[in-house]
Amino acid sequence: MSLMIFLFILFLAVGMWRMWSNQSGKKDKALFVSITTLGAALWGSIIVRHPFDLNKLIAWMFYWQ
């Protein structure tokens, strides 16, 4: 699990550095961070053998909208 956290931080750092060097906008950076964080959360849930049910999450979001 600590290797996954290290790789997540490394991936975020390298991605943000690449975006900074290409003069990317704030929306691009926010989208990159949010997709990367969602991916890490999903992989983490699989590793701890309690996967997220995305259908329930989407239904919950539509219910409260």
CA angle 34, 11, 53 (to 5 degrees): 45
| Res 61: pLDDT | 83
The confidence score (pLDDT) of residue 10 equals: 94
pLDDT in tens, 5-61: 898 999 999 999 999 999 989 999 999 998 998 888 888 888 888 878 878 877 888
Q: What share of the chain is helix, strand, coil (3-state, %, to 5)?
A: 80, 0, 20
Domain span at residue 12 reads 2-63
Tell me the helices (H) and strands (E) count for the chain, helix number first. 3, 0
Structure tokens at 4: 């996954």
Domains: count for the chain: 1
Distance from the first to the final alpha carbon of the chain: 34
